[in-house]
Amino acid sequence: MSPMRATADMTRLYFQNPLNPLTHTPLGRSVAAGCELVERMTRRYGKPEFGLDETTVSGVKVPVREEVVWSKPFCNLLHFDRKLGTKQRQDPRILIIAPMSGHYATLLRGTVETLLPRADVYITDWIDARMVPANQGRFDLDDYIDYVIEMLHFLGPDTHVMAVCQPSVPVLAAVAVMEGHDDPMAPATMTLMGGPIDTRINPTAVNKLAESKGIDWFRRNVIMKVPFPQPGFMRDVYPGFLQLSGFMSMNLDRHMTAHHEYFQHLIDGDGDSAEKHREFYDEYLAVMDLTAEFYLQTVETVFITHALPKGEFRHRGELVDCSKIRRTALLTVEGEKDDITGGGQTKAAHDLCTGLAADMQAHYTQPAVGHYGVFNGSRFRSEIAPRVMDFIRTHYKRPNNAPALPESPFEVAVATKTGSTAPAASATQEKPATKAKPAPRAKAGKLSDPLAEVLLAEPQGAADDLTAISGVGPKLQTALNGAGIFHYWQIAALTDAQIAALDSKLDFRGRIERDGWIEQARKLAKQPAEG
């Protein structure tokens, strides 16, 4: 496409030349706009810059220096060093694991920019596979996990790790491996954002494609050799432009509309709107190649065999057991309208971490955002980032001894259904966008009747006044008592499956969710019931 692009660019310059009389005519502006579109759509975009030269800390602007502090053939670890001078701050140290899925780490520029005023930020800067000589060897999913562990060792204890999208699986595996080895460098908290932990839950178009094609199809159709004269000549890679094509085809109408509007902005001379389009697509269209072994292993392990949620995931031959995670607090974040990672796929991490205490877990679903909005944009800045920082500060240091596991139904329900009982996190929870539910905690076991574990034959002590819950009158209280519900903690502990079963049994017609019984019961339950 290079000759076509060069021709289009020269034509654009000709029709934008102020000495050309056609420049100021509708025809000239249309030709110039069309040629600019052709040039931009056929251009190979280079790696963007973060460009974060300053931030505001406690109301004072301070310079920021971007520096590489750790390096391997396939990744550099960047540190955004805030030049605070003599001012001492106890800000948390956050390691952001950027996705290695076609785009550069600069896609998370907004994430870094939002966290910088309140945290010491590091981020993985993955290197384009076509730029790594073949003699540097392979890079697969096992290497990825090793890199994460090595970076956590480099940064030291009480680091907080944040995985955005694809890295959620290897980061969860890395923390499980470290906890299994009682590694003192395991992170204090782990935040998983829009990650495909269990893609069997609410599968999206991406998930369905992987399952329908099979790994051999991907090996035959999307793996290519790096051409000469790139440094990675003859390395097997999954080209970034194929990944980009897949993403764009999912929302093709949206991209076509954006480019049509850009064309009109150019004709109308609307420079500001045109520049916003350029800024977004300069970032979005900059892509990198992935090593074939990493891509194929990820597709097979995460999207086809579902090894991690099935308990079959292995790292260097060692079985990864997420139940060994006991001292690293877990926060999961999802977007209500995410069409890449379906609702509930990230939250499934809580069902794997069965050894983690209830007050060390939290989940949040952000309403009205898609995949990109989980880690960037206005809602991330105003609603998600503050919750993440609250969670990190609540669990600032990794405990020396693992807290005890929850014993009561109330605590288990809060941990698996709404997140954490910690005050900083409990007010931030939202119900997931789906009623699809992963396998229950191993401790609870599977029961044929979902209500069997919550209903009682008689009250445990004095029965609670259920009419204190808005929407529950004397008649409904009698019905609930007859079904075996006498206490606030029983209602607060209801799972999605139990709500559906109780709704069907007593013909509540959606009252439980519509009137907010769960949240009311949680507030009324001063403490979990014993027994």
- pLDDT tens-digit map of 125-158: 999 999 999 999 999 999 999 999 999 999 999 9
**Structure token digits, residue 211:** 């399952």
Q: What is the pLDDT at residue 171?
A: 98
pLDDT of residue 407: 58
- Lowest average pLDDT, out of 31-40, 127-136, 191-200, 482-491, goes to 482-491
State how far the Cα of 464 lies from the Cα of 373, in Å rounded to an integer: 42
Confidence bin at 530 (pLDDT 50/70/90): very low
CA-to-CA distance for 315 and 416, rounded, in angstroms? Answer: 26
Instruction: Please tell me which residue, 411 or 196, carries the higher pLDDT value.
Output: 196
pLDDT over 90 at 455, yes or no = no
Q: Which residues contact 351 (CB under 8 A, 6 or more apart)?
A: 309, 416, 438, 439, 440, 441
Residues 347-364 have a mean pLDDT of 95
> Is pLDDT at 416 greater than 60 in this prediction?
no
The percentage of residues in the chain with a pLDDT greater than 90, rounded to a whole number, is 61
- Structure-block tokens of residue 33: 């706009």
Residues with Cβ within 8 Å of residue 521, at least 6 apart in sequence: 469, 488, 489, 491, 492
Q: Helix/strand/coil (H, E, C) string of 172-184?
A: HHHHHHHHHCCCC
- Taking only the tens place, the pLDDT of each residue in 19-75 is 999 988 999 999 999 999 999 888 888 889 999 999 999 889 999 999 999 999 999
Within 10 angstroms of residue 195's Cβ, the number of other Cβ atoms is 30
| Position 488 confidence tier, pLDDT thresholds 50, 70, 90 | confident
According to the per-residue pLDDT averaged within each range, which of 35-44, 175-184, 425-434 is highest?
175-184
| Confidence band, pLDDT 50/70/90 cuts, at residue 417 | very low
Q: Which single residue is written with the structure tokens 């001492």?
A: 88
Helix, strand, or coil here: 237?
strand
Amino acid 424: pLDDT? 37
pTM, full prediction: 0.74
pLDDT band at 428 (very low <50, low <70, confident <90, very high): very low
| Distance, CA of 287 to CA of 101 (rounded, Å) | 9
